[in-house]
Chain A
Amino acid sequence: MSVKIKPLLLTSFLFVAACVTINVYFPAAEVESAAEKIVKDVLSSEETPSTDDQSNINEASMIRTIVHYGNPLNWLISSAQAQVDITISSPAISALTDKMKQRYSSSLKTHLENNVVGFNNKGFVEIVDAGQLGLKERQDLKKTVADENRDREALYREMAIANNHPEWEDKITEAFIKQWIEQAQKGWSYQDSNDQWVTKLESNNNQ
């Protein structure tokens, strides 16, 4: 075997190995995009669209896209990824998100704005400070939070099942954790990775 052929074979081997990786690929970008759409849909009521077109360049998802397509390896596997179609509209998902939207506009939004509740780092909502509420309202809030979290848990599972990958549930949850926090509005509370409750300093401009 000539010296020139060896590197070619090695490169071919690496290429084939890269193809194997594609087969076990979890479509993180697509799942995150799906999560982004759903979270945006839920949080969309009464949101003010951004008027600063240039601000998109700072948007996290835009940066991800640039990085994603800037990676030469992704040029090779892009066609495989393009075939991934993440389902976000099964009847179960629609029923759950409809309930979440209704709950958000009727009560949760106000509680988020007043920092009574926040997004925790497990993909759920949590009571942060109910001190400003009356006792009956606190009790009602417990129900609201419990209902929301039951719906969210079911949503993450249904997303995984609707896409024929029940084993993706944890990763889908992670995508939602990121999106809830990323799309939280300025001033809302969320729990960081150190379990500390912090206030969102900037809104996601894409909202």
Chain B
Amino acid sequence: MSYKNNTNHLFLQVLRWGCWLLLILLVSIVRAQTQPWKISGFNILAQKQDGVAITIDQFSAAGYNLQHIKYRCPKNIQIYPIHRCDNAQLSLKLNNQPYEVMLNTLFDANSRFWELELSSLNQEISLKANAASNAVKVMLQSIELNDFFSGNEGVLKDINGLITANLLANISDLTVQTEDPLSFNQFSYEYSEDVVFFELGGQASFQFDGLQQQLTVEIEISKGEMLFESLYADFSQFPLAIQLTVELNGDFDYDIKAQITNQQSMILDIHIIVDQQFNWLIPETKLDVKDTHHFNQQILNSILGIYGFGNTEMSGGFKARLLTDDGKLTFFQIDFNDYYVLNQKRKIQVDALQGQVFWSFKQPSQDSILNWQALLLAGMPIKAAQADFNLSKDVFKLLGEHVFPVFDGAIKITEFSADKLFADSIGMSLEAKIEPISLKLITEKLAWPEMAGTISGAIPGMVKKDSVIEFLGALQLQVFDGQMRVENLSLERLFGVAPVIAADVTFEGFDLALLTETFGFGQITGKLSGIINDLRITNWKTDRLDAHVFTVKTKGVKQTISQRAIDNISSLGGIKGAISKTFLRFFDDFRYNRIELSCKLHNSVCEIGGLKNQDNQFVIVEGGGIPKINIVGFVRTINWSEFISRLLNANYDN
């Protein structure tokens, strides 16, 4: 069990060490006429000029021992049977701590009546009591909290602040309460650099039942700031109302039940157990956030920022319930209500999220269900769908078959589970496939040149190691009427800084007519195969690759290249109008024997190659038939962005 030092027990401290309690004590001793008491060193001194003085070396009663008690009335007036004195002074020592107060007194031995009005020398504390009532009124005026807690730095340190309050104490039933809300200002407390309350201001009222050992407190905090580890709150922007009860639980522990409310956005119910050393445990917490937009702006966003998800927008609401045992989280439940999240930087968005998520550490938890109107995960849009799953201990399991609509197709998951969720390496079991999705829609979303055809195929299993998700086996896709095989696919820091997609890709049988139509490149017919090794896409841009693409002669498939395509391929080398400016422009297309192109991209530079690489010379297109057109490249290195720009965006017509 890991108790932690607690910082929130000022009220207990007030009751324990409050200076005014001493005054109440004095009164209670005086009232305790039936209790045995003992006096030693009693002297009365009356002088005309100095007034009347009473000194007592020691006074013991009700278990208390007061020393060096000195009472002095400035006027020389009678002491017995009736004594009335204004502006008298009383000084004494309790536990070697000196105290001094001013007082107005009335003592009538005949009628057995007395009345006291005590105040500290600086008028910060005053007290009224009389024989007719069990009530003692205590008035605190701008009391320095630091004075209250001096000598207790080991438990509570660096406390500052001012308190103004009118308190009522009842001697007979040992109750103390605020007569009207007390105000506190500039309340500061620093436990560590990470746990700080700074210049809090507001109002509070409380009632303490000494017999029942119960404290009820209501606090409104409307000024100041708080830093509690990752949580920062500015109470002028996020005022809180706190209701709490403190009860003695057994002989040693205190039970604190608190409800913390921000009127606009949230209610937090929290149960805290505190021991005598101010160590605490929180067995249960409930959070009801009804206005997530406000809660996020004031509280959550600064926490998310630390974890790299700053500037997240939210709206809607959610409720959370957390249980702990022995300081460890054992259960949580989160209910989402029309919840919306958007983080543009991380490409995450959820629209109208509804449902409940349950997690239990000790036993199998209740099944969870979530549904949404729209979902964006790392840029992949998923339309309205529902997920049924179970989250127990460190295992996540999707329940049954799920079909998540993506663009005009879907990702169909027959089985998905993940275990060791809290370990560095998470094992995942996946049986899923992509049901045909139009490449046109995907490329539009990625702001790439529009591609024709569809993508479909099987998705292999996965494993997560630290920030890397590795796909086990190959991802098989059908694209451009051919087959694509993606191996060694991994996703790194997918929702983090500089996300990376890495893979080795092979493809065969791509319909070049479809492909070239996509890029508006000028038509090439034939079949294309290729290998792209060490493909690494960082921040959604190609960082590295070692690509080699080539045509494959296929029976029944013509191999032709249009005049425009030749011009465009030529333009990769900076030549414009290679064909269109010659007599060959009268031919629409030409036959070719082979096309081959390679690019080794490293450090933003693409090292180009093709057929018959020799020194700085290489052949991209080897013609066939008559007229025979060969395209020969002489520039072996080219800036990648320039290469892509020429390939995809050049205005070939010019």
Contact = CB atoms under 8 A, between A and B. Distances in A.
Given A96-B497, A150-B497, A143 B226 contact: no
Interface stretch (B33-41, B205-213, B302-310, B621-629): B302-310
A99 to B, nearest CB: 8
A138 interface: yes
B498 interface: yes
B232 A139 contact: yes
A157 B372 CA distance: 36
A135 B603 CA distance: 43
B539 A95 contact: yes
B316 to A, nearest CB: 25
Contact of B538 (A89, A92, A142): A92
B604 A91 contact: yes
Given A139-B227, A146-B306, A158-B498, A129 B232 contact: no
A92 B543 contact: yes
B545 interface: no
Nearest to A133: B193
A142 B196 CA distance: 15
Contact of B500 (A92, A131, A135, A143): A92
B308 A147 contact: yes
B234 interface: yes
A130 interface: yes
B543 A90 contact: yes
Given A95-B539, A129-B193, A146-B307, A151 B497 contact: yes
B336 interface: no
B308 A90 contact: no
A92 B539 contact: yes
Contacts of B306: 142-143, 146
Contacts of B604: 89-91
B230 interface: yes
Contacts of A151: 497
B602 interface: yes
A55 to B, nearest CB: 34
Given A87-B603, A91-B539, A146-B307, A136 B498 contact: no
A181 B544 CA distance: 32
Nearest to B502: A161
Interface string B502-528: 000000000000000000000000000
Contacts, number: 74
Interface string B273-315: 0000000000000000000000000000010011110100000
A96 B498 CA distance: 8
Contacts of B198: 134-135
B343 to A, nearest CB: 15
A154 B232 contact: no
Nearest to B230: A142
A127 interface: yes
A146 B194 CA distance: 15
Contacts of A158: 498, 538
Contacts of B196: 135, 138
Contact of B603 (A90, A127, A131): A90
A91 B543 contact: yes
Contacts of B543: 90-92
Given A90-B544, A92-B498, A150-B496, A143 B310 contact: yes
A5 B71 CA distance: 113
A89 B302 CA distance: 33
A157 to B, nearest CB: 8
A136 B193 contact: no
Given A91-B539, A143-B302, A136 B232 contact: yes
13 contacts: A89-B603, A90-B538, A90-B602, A92-B498, A95-B498, A134-B198, A135-B227, A136-B234, A139-B230, A142-B306, A143-B302, A146-B307, A162-B544
Query: Which 6 residue pairs of A and B lie closest in terms of their CB atoms, listed nearest first?
Result: A139-B232, A92-B538, A135-B227, A143-B305, A135-B225, A150-B497
Interface of B: 193-194, 196, 198, 225-227, 230, 232, 234, 302, 305-308, 310, 493, 496-498, 500, 536, 538-539, 541, 543-544, 602-604
Given A95-B498, A135-B226, 12 more contacts: A91-B604, A92-B538, A92-B543, A96-B498, A99-B497, A127-B193, A129-B193, A136-B225, A136-B234, A139-B227, A143-B305, A154-B496
